[in-house]
Structure 1
Amino acid sequence: MVPLEYRMAARVARALREAGEPRPARELAYRALAMPSVAPTQLERVIEPVLDGRFFREEGALGLWEWRYPFPQEGEVLVVLDLETTGLSPSENEIIEIALMRVEPGRVERFVRLVNPGSPIPPFITRLTGISSADVADAPDVYTALEEALVYLEGAVLVIQNAPFDLGFLRPRARRLGVKIHNEVIDTVQWARRALPRMRRRGLDHLIRAFEVSIETGARHRALGDVEATWTVAREMYYILTAGEPRRVLEV
């Protein structure tokens, strides 16, 4: 269950992005919260408790700090990464898809590769991801795919949802290529503990619901779709946690 105030805040943020400029709280409450039965004089009281660190006040209007400072900061490079695998065990299962998004101010690069795991993909994984053994029959093996992917990690802070899982697969395979992954890591699960303290569950599906992130049909549980979703929720949480005080990601 996602606390209602988180979803209400997401709707206020969306209404502001649609407006593209600061708007009165009363107007935002009416537009975003669909509460025409509430008296106009009470609307601002309704909206006030849901506002978090993403919002600023200016001359009686509300705005978004994302309009005032960027994420990431100048000189920072982030790589959002996700893997799809044949199971939960790094020693017994294999990667079947790698995706990442390298983000720096003014530039975004995306990388995605299907991977041939060298054995049949279990039916329940195909049901979950939509990736079948036929899809990966002509795909490169994990080491060939990793040689391409690891180039994008240079000089970057990694942003990963539930980082221990992905790194558990990634690091030992990179070592076999003679590469040590020593990048700093931001785990969005840990950010969620502070940004959304009333959330009992912090899986990606729950964060997507809390921020009302729009996901294309079939994109969830595909590596690039999950990368895009992780990037969106990380960005929202960055502004909640910085609350008008620009900081580099490792200082958040």
Structure 2
Amino acid sequence: MFANLSLRLRIFLFFCLIAIGSTGLVLIALWVGHARVAASSVTDGFIFAGILSILGTVALTAGIWLLFDENVAKPIEKLAADMRSRAHAGVATKVDTEAARYLGDLAPAANAVASALSETTLQTAQKVAAETERLNAEKARLTALLTEIPVATILVNIHDQIVLYDGQAAEVLSQLAPPRLNAPMSDYFDPAALSSAKRKMQKTGKDVDFTAQGNTHDQSFDARMKPMDGGGYMLVINAEHVNLTPDAARPLVYDFDLMDRNTGSWDADTPLGDLTYAVFDTETTGLLPHKDEIVQIGAVRVVNGRIVAGERLDQLVNPGCPIPPASTKVHHVTDAMVQNAPDIGKAGVLFHSFASNSVIVAHNAPFDMAFLHRHKARMDVEWDHPILDTVLLSAVLFGASQTHTLDALCDRLEVTIPPELRHTALGDAQATAEVLVRMLPMLAARGLTTFGAVLTETRRHSRLLEDLN
């Protein structure tokens, strides 16, 4: 009977309930007050009737507000978040009309719009997929060609940040620090040698041969710096005498949008799309950061709003103590697996380097960061990176009253975690990164386009993390 009522009629009935309930309460209070007159005085009766009326009206208002919040306000908030996820995060499933069943025709209308949008998006995606397949075939041919050439190639923009590197270059770079798009060249090579060669190249406009000294001065490479149109340069390293992994996959890693952008710094006004994110997760011996230890660190990088294929960290860590069987049952990391792994001192430095010049992102970040902060003296590093937490981003986008577990977020945003990767550090980091990538355009659609604006909004929900930990 009530399921077919329109939204306007439902809201009208709420107000009718307030009017009728308030009238009834006043009449009852007056009757009770009149009854007290015989036992006391007229003044006492009126005062008692007034107090009863006030208390009853407050209780009635609170009850009606709870009904309104549960049946109107929360469903509207959820419906808005569902619509935003379909408009900006590529979610294609139908809108949950059951949760908004008391909103009249609003939910079916929203579902119709979402379905039409999904159909249009699907047609566009099919065209994009066909073109992407063609480009991937060309990229595969180019990669195969570069693999046969014994040189490592790195393309650098005018801000001395990496825009492209091939497989050979990845192996050269990995001997110095984790290879990363948009990382400054000074993270790998001696800045003085690079600057000298760059000045000579800019002065002559010709290729410059020089020795690329590693930033730790432990290694050096024969290199050539080639000028590029519009600024920047290509660094070609002779890889004939470099130990390359035989038959290793050597894909190209690149983002040409970085040619004209400087994404190596951040402040409150930095657009979200210009930030680089290091998304990570840990597996541990237990749930107490002040006494338990990390056994695995997994991380992926997000640059220019996209997950960078090939830039990932999957590192086992020797905790220096036995791993409890109950913990192994969750993450499947055994004592035998970590026997020859580095301790947190070395593994932490590796992740610190991987996350250099990045915003660190995690799901319930205070938990994972607590382990790293506890051992920062052993690592001899400072964890002063800016932090974003996907729990808080979820609260901003979907409302604090929703569930904010990683599984709930993945279901909401249609991110699939293969069962064998759930509760592995790399698997959960990958899922968190995919969630983040879908959230970024949703945040922009809410008008939260800068890092400072997002931080300000997430701080409003910080109590969620306190309750979680």
Which category of TM-score, normalised to the shorter sequence, fits these structures?
0.7 to 0.9
Q: In 1, distance between residues paired with 2:419 and 2:81?
A: 21
Take 1:98 and 1:15, find their aligned partners in 2: how far apart are those partners? 27
Q: What is the aligned partner in structure 2 of residue 239 from structure 1?
A: 441
The CA deviation string for residues 95-119 of structure 1, in whole angstroms up to 9 with x for no partner, is 0001111222377221110011112
Q: Report if aligned partners of 1:7, 1:210 keep a CA contact under 8 Å in 2.
A: no
Asked whether the equivalents of residues 112 and 224 of structure 1 are also in contact (C-alpha less than 8 Å), the reply is: yes
Shift of 1:151: 0.6
- Whether 2:269 is the aligned partner of 1:205: answer no
Trace 1:153-172 onto structure 2 (pairs within 5 A). Answer: 153-172=355-374
8 Å CA contact retained: 2:290, 2:374: no
Task: Output one character per residue of 1:54-75: Cα deviation in whole Å (capped at 9) or x when no partner.
Answer: x989xxx679xxx9xxx9523x
Q: Alpha-carbon deviation of 1:126?
A: 1.0
- Tell me how far apart the structure 2 counterparts of residues 144 and 111 of structure 1 sit (CA, whole Å): 14
Instruction: Indicate the residue corresponding to 2:111 in structure 1.
Output: 47
Q: Which residue of 2 aligns with 1:150?
A: 352
CA distance in 2, matches of 1:56, 1:240: 16
Select the structure with the greater relative contact order (CA < 8 A; seq sep ≥ 6). 1
Q: What is the aligned partner in structure 1 of residue 340 from structure 2?
A: 138
| Structure 2 counterpart of 1:178 | 380
The answer to whether structure 1 residue 73 and structure 2 residue 134 are counterparts is no
Structure 1 residues 15 and 112, CA gap change in structure 2 (3 angstroms) = closer
Aligned-residue RMSD, C-alpha: 4.0
Residues paired across the two proteins, number: 220
Matched-pair contact (CA < 8 Å) for 2:397–2:442: yes
Corresponding residue for residue 20 of structure 1: none
| Pairing of 1:19-38 with structure 2 (within 5 A) | 32-33=93-94
The verdict on how the C-alpha distance between 1:10 and 1:136 changes in structure 2, with shifts beyond 3 A counting, is farther
Q: What code does the residue aligned with 2:321 have? A: S
Counterpart among 72, 79, 89 of residue 288 in structure 2: 89
8 Å contact from structure 1 (residues 100, 227) kept in 2: yes
1:8-27 map, 5 Å: none
Would the aligned equivalents of 2:79 and 2:107 in 1 still touch at CA under 8 Å?
no
Describe the shift of the 1:230–1:239 C-alpha distance in structure 2 as closer, same or farther (beyond 3 A). same
Aligned equivalents of 1:235 and 1:244: distance in 2? 15
The residue number in structure 1 matching 2:170 is none
For the Cα contact (< 8 Å) 1:6–1:50, is it kept in 2? no
Bigger radius of gyration among the two: 2
Structure 1 residue 189 displacement after superposition: 0.8
Residue-by-residue CA offset, 1:166-197 (whole Å, 9 max, x unaligned): 11101121233221111111111111111111
Question: Is 1:188 the equivalent of 2:401?
Answer: no
Report the Cα distance in structure 1 between the residues aligned to 2:363 and 2:80, rounded to whole angstroms.
Answer: 19
Residue pair 1:7, 1:212 contacting (<8 A) in 2 also = no
Q: Compute the displacement of 1:83 (Å).
A: 0.9
**Does the aligned pair in 2 maintain the 1:80–1:159 contact within 8 Å?**
yes
Provide the C-alpha distance between the structure 1 equivalents of 2:90 and 2:389, rounded to a whole number of angstroms: 28
- In structure 2, the partner of 1:119 is 321
Q: Runs in 1 of length 4+ with deviation above 4 angstroms? A: 3-17, 48-51
Amino acid at match of 2:383: I
Aligned-pair CA distance for 1:50: 6.6
In proportion to residue count, which structure has more helix?
2
Cα deviation digits, residues 18-60 of structure 1 (max 9, x gap): xxxxxxxxxx7xxx439xxxxxxx9971516879xxx989xxx
Offset of residue 251 of structure 1: 3.1
| C-alpha displacement of 1:12 | 5.0
Contact 2:272 / 2:440 at 8 angstroms: preserved in 1? no
Query: How far apart in 1 are the matches of 2:300 and 2:321?
Result: 28
Question: d(CA) in 1 for partners of 2:114 and 2:424?
Answer: 32
CA distance in 2, matches of 1:170, 1:229: 21
